[in-house]
Amino acid sequence: MRLGLVYVLSVPYVAGFACFGGPEIGGFRLTGWVFVVMLALAPLVYLVDRTPSRFPISYWIPWIAVVLLSILWADEIGRWQLQDALQIVTPFVIAPIASKSIHTKRDMDALMRGFTHCLFILLAATVLYFLASAHVLVRPMALTAALVGCVFIAQVRDKPRTAVFGWLGCLLITGLTGSRIATLALLLEWLLMPGFRRVWPRFAIGAAVVSLGIALFYTPVFQERFFGDDRGTIADVKRGEYLAAGRREAWPELIEDVRRRPWIGSGSGSAMGFVEEVWGADNITQPHNDYLRILLEQGTLGLLCFSYGVIRQLVSLWVDLRTRKDARAAIRSAAILGFLVLLVVAYTDNPIIYGVWFMHPLLVLAGASYSSDAAAATRNSHCQDKTHSKRGLG
């Protein structure tokens, strides 16, 4: 098996096993070392495969540049500043390798199976978490499940039963762990799924999703997440009378920090210091809002560059999905849904810094959507099948 393909296919498996966190070695958790290894191997893997990359990295160059340059205007240039910046840019190093390494439909099928196996790993982790009190990183695991759900929904036309049951497995993970934003993202995936042009199927799916969402809201797990020991209604949520884990109190103060340096922010890794000071909790070092994080660290310039990359990427994938009818349709749909999920969960979570759990698998899907030889390989395979069948008939 080619080195590049092994590199790419490892990503969903690593995302699954990363929910266990792993031991701390040399000041890094195991997940921290994974991104270091992926980044260090990237040049070698890229150069070994002579296939040209078709991933549109130019969409992301402004974002990558501002993230790396923001190290220079941070108050100090230390380990955390470098780590944060490199964690954010590593997925965009992996994506071009994915576009080079996926050559055939068999490669694409192997990648999709990897995400199925990732779900099995996440389900096993959930069981161990509840039955054996295993150490599991619940929040990142839920975000991984939300992304894996995109891969299953994208297969609904070809494998409807697999798509529904796989998605339900992802919903089981986010539901049992009480992850509000990941569960919301999973429910929205059916409504955001590209390609449903008829109104009635979209309406029926919407009604089913709303009903399921309301049912989940009144389960004990989500009642506790929203209201603690009390019980509440959807009307209480509309009025803002629910537990926000300190966000309502902390975000306004963090916005004041943004206003001090609105254009270029305070530099890579600076959000951690602001959050620790404002939140006043040792275990909270992220603003739980990636838009706010970008404004804190890279300012309005950074948010514009990030938005530019996401929008250009979505438009490119959408155009290819509409105009190119080939074996990559499911992967393109999964990538489109993945970026939309990114925009949803970024409102109350930190997906752009969750490289191993979220951004790596997302950018692998995006990179594989531009694989150069997959379409030709699929056509050749069909032609060979027809040739063999004609010979058999002869």
The closest of 114, 94, 117, 118 to 106, measured between CA atoms, is 114
Name the pTM for this structure: 0.90
Question: Three-class SS string for the chain?
Answer: CCHHHHHHHHHHHHHHHHHHCCCEECCEEHHHHHHHHHHHHHHHHHHHCCCCCCCCHHHCHHHHHHHHHCCCCCCCCCHHHHHHHHHHHCHHHHHHHHHHHCCCHHHHHHHHHHHHHHHHHHHHHHHHHHHCCCCCCHHHHHHHHHHHHHHHHCCCCCCHHHHHHHHHHHHHHHHHHCCHHHHHHHHHHHHHCCCCCCHHHHHHHHHHHHHHHHHHHCCHHHHHHHHCCCCCCHHHHHCCCCCCCCHHHHHHHHHHHHHHCCCCCCCCCHHHHHHHHHHCCCCCCCCCCHHHHHHHHHHHHHHHHHHHHHHHHHHHHHHHHHHCCCCCHHHHHHHHHHHHHHHHHCCCCCHHHCHHHHHHHHHHHHHHCCCCCHHHHHHHHHHHHHHHHHHHHC
Instruction: Note whether residue 384 is domain-resident.
Output: yes
- What average pLDDT does the segment 234-238 reach? 88
Instruction: Note whether residue 260 is domain-resident.
Output: yes
pLDDT band, very low/low/confident/very high, at 384 (cuts 50, 70, 90): very low
The predicted-structure confidence for 70-113, as pLDDT tens digits, reads as follows 999 888 887 778 888 999 999 999 999 999 999 889 999 999 99
State the Cα–Cα distance between residues 272 and 297, nearest whole angstrom: 10
Say how many C-beta atoms besides its own lie within 10 A of residue 261's C-beta.
17
What local confidence, expressed as pLDDT, does residue 2 receive?
A: 85
State the Cα–Cα distance between residues 20 and 270, nearest whole angstrom: 27
Beta carbons of 154 and 330 less than 8 angstroms apart: yes
- What average pLDDT does the segment 307-319 reach? 96
Instruction: Note whether residue 49 is domain-resident.
Output: yes
Instruction: Note whether residue 107 is domain-resident.
Output: yes
Instruction: Note whether residue 393 is domain-resident.
Output: no
What local confidence, expressed as pLDDT, does residue 279 receive?
A: 72
Tell whether the model's pLDDT for residue 378 goes beyond 60.
Answer: no
Enumerate residues 6+ apart whose C-beta is below 8 A from 105: 327, 374, 377, 378, 381
Query: Which CA distances in Å does 227 have to 8, 181, 186, 224, 284?
Result: 42, 16, 22, 5, 20
What local confidence, expressed as pLDDT, does residue 36 receive?
A: 82
Instruction: Note whether residue 284 is domain-resident.
Output: yes
State the Cα–Cα distance between residues 207 and 110, nearest whole angstrom: 34
Instruction: Note whether residue 394 is domain-resident.
Output: no
Tell whether the model's pLDDT for residue 67 goes beyond 50.
Answer: yes
**Torsion sign (Cα): 46, 49, 50, 51:** negative
What local confidence, expressed as pLDDT, does residue 211 receive?
A: 93
Tell whether the model's pLDDT for residue 311 goes beyond 50.
Answer: yes
Domain that holds residue 204: 3-388
The predicted-structure confidence for 257-306, as pLDDT tens digits, reads as follows 888 889 999 889 888 877 877 776 666 778 889 999 999 999 999 999 99
| Identity of the amino acid at 96 | P
State the Cα–Cα distance between residues 32 and 143, nearest whole angstrom: 17
- When the pLDDT of each residue in the chain is averaged and rounded to a whole number, the result is 87
Count of structural domains, the chain: 1
What local confidence, expressed as pLDDT, does residue 376 receive?
A: 46
pLDDT band, very low/low/confident/very high, at 27 (cuts 50, 70, 90): low
**31 or 114: whose pLDDT is higher?**
114
